Every structure is written in C-alpha cells, then in structure tokens.
Amino acid sequence: MTLMGSKVPMFKLRPYKGLLLAALFVFIVGGLLSACFFTEEADYVGYRHGLFTLLVTLVLGLLCIMAAFSRYRFRHLRHHRPGYKRG
C-alpha cells in the first residue's frame, strides 16, 4: 500500500492471510490429487474420480478466497475520516 503524504491507509481492510494460504493449499493438494486420478487410472471410473476431485477442489478454494475477501462486503468499514481525500 502506498502512503499519501501523512495519511495512513486503513489496514483493517486487508484480506485474511490464513484463508488465502488455506486456499493455496487446497488448490495445490486438490490439483495434485486430481492429476493423480487422471493419470493412474485410464478408465472411465478414474476419469470421474479425477473430475469430481477437481470440482470439489475448485469449490473449496473459491469459498476460501471469498471468505478471505469478506471484509470488502462491509461498506460501513470504509468510512472517510475528515483528513482523508474524498473521491
């Protein structure tokens, strides 16, 4: 974040780092697991398991990302103080 003169940015609007790390972990583990299902079993059952694992991974990862950025949905936290530039 860049500082504008003597004004201090509002650090309470940063996303949750723990949830972003959890989303990264879910994407890595789920991607590797689905790739394992896709490559080990070449039949239709292995393909379905890999596709199901990939879909669950995407849903869980996106939920973690949405929860990490949940602070941006609360507009009452973004109030302007008298010393801030409006606009």
Domain with 64, as residue range(s), is 15-71
The answer as to whether 44 is a domain residue is yes
Residue 27 identity (one-letter amino acid): F
The answer as to whether 46 is a domain residue is yes
Kindly tell me if the per-residue pLDDT of 86 is higher than 90. Answer: no
The answer as to whether 9 is a domain residue is no
* pLDDT tens-place string over residues 8-45: 556 667 788 999 999 999 999 999 999 888 887 667 77
DSSP 7: B
Pairwise CA distance, residues 60 & 29, whole Å:
12
Q: Report the candidate in 38, 72, 70 with the shortest Cα–Cα distance to residue 52.
A: 38
Pairwise CA distance, residues 77 & 53, whole Å:
37
Q: Total structural domains in the chain?
A: 1
Pairwise CA distance, residues 1 & 32, whole Å:
34
Kindly tell me if the per-residue pLDDT of 3 is higher than 80. Answer: no
